């Protein structure tokens, strides 16, 4: 069938809406009419080339929710009309990682930027004038319709608004899990969150939720600092110097228990700043992404060893999407996790490029595309 989707033709480039050909669902696949998609910074990394895609054109978007329109043959578990949230990380349920409670590290994830079907790198679900179009994370939520593997979809209750539910497919799970799972925030902790966008705001929520006494948010943009304080930060600063100084004051000179790096374009020096701000045996969580070819961190080897500090990467907040997406939504319906407050502005599909301009201008916590 034909569908409209936002693609980048090359990197660096910008998202542009084109008419695509979309395969119907094969066995193990569903075709979904999109309802909403968040504008996560990671799709912008694909457009800038900081994270290169396997093939261009590449159709963006990986934080989406919609309604199942067609189910592939012999594909149990889904039916027409089901509401689904996509997980940006697929879960096969069988590999070593899925089987040991690390579904976010599922081996299928190796195909995230290839853009093809998981089992064949030459077989694409989308094409443009006969040429293959890669699907971001195998899902491409910047399209009116998309066909995905069932490994990427989680069925959700039909009474949850899809324009809120979409956020748990990346930003919420990633940020919340970075604090709760990866930093292992404990009651009474002092936590620094560096960078308050769609990811960092949820790290703030997660740290507050886990019982931190002090959640110190850092962002150069005043509006972001205000939002952080609305959603659980006890303090906010424009620079890490100020945040690190307060963390030391609050802890008898020891430093923060953890510092979570969620800067939009994360550079090694950001990790270095976070590393200097934590206490002995504290944890730096690195969730933000930058140029993925970069190697080397400016951290003190002495502090690493002698202060027993820990640098912990975090993918989708170290969560298990099949269970944690539903858990996040339950917390939302209980009023214990805020989603409505995260959406600063909504856009049409044709306004994707504008959404990313606004993100760079610091105007949005999260911009969300809402489909008709
Ligand atoms: N690890 C994962 O699983 C995962 C998942 C999704 C996104 N990400 C990455 O997380 C990062 C954040 O994504 P987002 O959608 O929240 O981006 P965003 O652009 O919405 O937010 C980033 C924030 O960082 C702030 N910032 C910039 N420089 C800063 C500095 N020096 N100190 C403090 N704050 C600074 C910006 O003002 C902005 O508010 C991106 O790199 C994205 O690719 C990682
Ligand atoms: Zn994302
Ligand atoms: Zn797996």
State whether 145 and 15 are in the same domain. Answer: yes
State whether 106 and 22 are in the same domain. Answer: yes
State whether 228 and 277 are in the same domain. Answer: yes
289-337 confidence digits (pLDDT tens)? 999 999 999 999 999 999 999 999 999 999 999 999 999 999 999 999 9
State whether 301 and 352 are in the same domain. Answer: no
Instruction: State if residue 31 touches ligand 1 by the CB under 6 angstroms criterion.
Output: no
| DSSP, residue by residue, 282-322 | EEEEE-----TT-------HHHHHHTT-EEEE-SGGG--HH
Instruction: State if residue 38 touches ligand 1 by the CB under 6 angstroms criterion.
Output: no
Helix (H) or strand (E) holding 16: strand 16-22
Instruction: Please give the pLDDT value at position 163.
Output: 98
State whether 308 and 352 are in the same domain. Answer: no
Mean pLDDT of 147-167: 98
State whether 224 and 344 are in the same domain. Answer: no
In a domain, 330, yes or no: no
80-102 confidence digits (pLDDT tens)? 999 999 999 999 999 999 999 99
State whether 148 and 288 are in the same domain. Answer: no
Q: Count of domains in the chain?
A: 2
From the CA of 303, how far away is ligand 2's center (Å)?
Answer: 32
| Residue 118 near residue 94 (C-beta atoms within 8 A) | no
State whether 188 and 264 are in the same domain. Answer: yes
State whether 189 and 305 are in the same domain. Answer: yes
In a domain, 332, yes or no: no
Instruction: State if residue 112 touches ligand 1 by the CB under 6 angstroms criterion.
Output: no
Would you say the pTM of this structure is higher than 0.95? yes
344/346 Cα distance (integer angstroms): 7
List the residue whose alpha carbon is closest to atom 8 of ligand 1: 288
From the CA of 196, how far away is ligand 1's center (Å)?
Answer: 7
Query: What's the CATH code of the domain at 105?
Result: 3.90.180.10
Q: How far is CA 339 from CA 241, 336, 369, in A?
A: 30, 10, 15
Query: What's the CATH code of the domain at 290?
Result: 3.40.50.720
Mutate to test the pocket of ligand 1, among 37, 42, 239, 361 (most ligand atoms within 8 A of CB): 42
Give me the domain span that covers residue 206: 175-315
226/228 Cα distance (integer angstroms): 5
State whether 181 and 285 are in the same domain. Answer: yes
In a domain, 322, yes or no: no
From the CA of 100, how far away is ligand 3's center (Å)?
Answer: 9
8-28 confidence digits (pLDDT tens)? 999 999 999 999 999 999 999
From the CA of 134, how far away is ligand 3's center (Å)?
Answer: 21
List the residue whose alpha carbon is closest to atom 43 of ligand 1: 42
């Amino acid at each position: 069938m034909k569908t409209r989707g936002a693609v980048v033709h090359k990197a660096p480039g910008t998202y542009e809406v084109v008419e695509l050909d979309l395969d119907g669902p094969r066995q193990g696949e569903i075709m979904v009419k999109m309802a909403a998609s968040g504008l996560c910074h990671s799709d912008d990394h694909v457009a800038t080339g900081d994270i290169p895609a396997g093939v261009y054109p590449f159709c963006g978007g990986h934080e989406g929710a919609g309604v199942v329109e067609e189910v592939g043959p012999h594909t149990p578990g889904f039916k027409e009309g089901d509401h689904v949230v996509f997980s940006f990380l697929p879960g096969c349920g069988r590999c070593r990682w899925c089987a040991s409670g690390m579904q976010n590290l599922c081996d299928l994830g190796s195909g995230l930027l290839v853009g093809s079907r998981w089992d064949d790198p030459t077989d694409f679900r989308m094409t443009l004038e006969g040429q293959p179009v890669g699907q971001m994370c195998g899902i491409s939520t910047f399209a009116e319709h998309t066909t995905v593997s069932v490994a990427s979809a989680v069925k959700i209750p039909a009474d949850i608004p899809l324009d809120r539910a979409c956020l748990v497919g990346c930003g919420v799970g990633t940020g919340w899990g970075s604090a709760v799972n990866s930093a292992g925030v404990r009651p009474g902790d002092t936590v620094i969150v560096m960078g308050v966008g769609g990811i960092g705001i949820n790290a703030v929520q997660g740290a507050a939720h886990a019982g931190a006494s002090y959640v110190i948010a850092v962002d150069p943009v005043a509006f972001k600092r205000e939002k952080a304080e609305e959603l659980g930060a006890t303090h906010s600063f424009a620079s890490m110097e100020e945040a690190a100084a307060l963390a030391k004051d609050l802890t008898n000179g020891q430093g923060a228990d953890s510092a979570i790096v969620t800067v939009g374009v994360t550079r090694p020096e950001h990790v270095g700043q976070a590393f200097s701000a934590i206490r002995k045996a504290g944890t730096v969580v690195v969730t933000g992404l930058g140029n993925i070819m970069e190697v080397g961190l400016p951290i003190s080897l002495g502090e690493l060893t002698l202060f027993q500090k820990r640098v912990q990467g975090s993918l989708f907040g170290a969560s298990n999407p099949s269970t944690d997406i539903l858990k996040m939504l339950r917390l939302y319906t209980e009023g214990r996790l805020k989603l409505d407050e995260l959406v600063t502005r909504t856009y049409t599909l044709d306004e994707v490029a504008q959404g990313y301009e606004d993100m760079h201008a610091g105007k949005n916590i999260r911009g969300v595309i809402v489909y008709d």
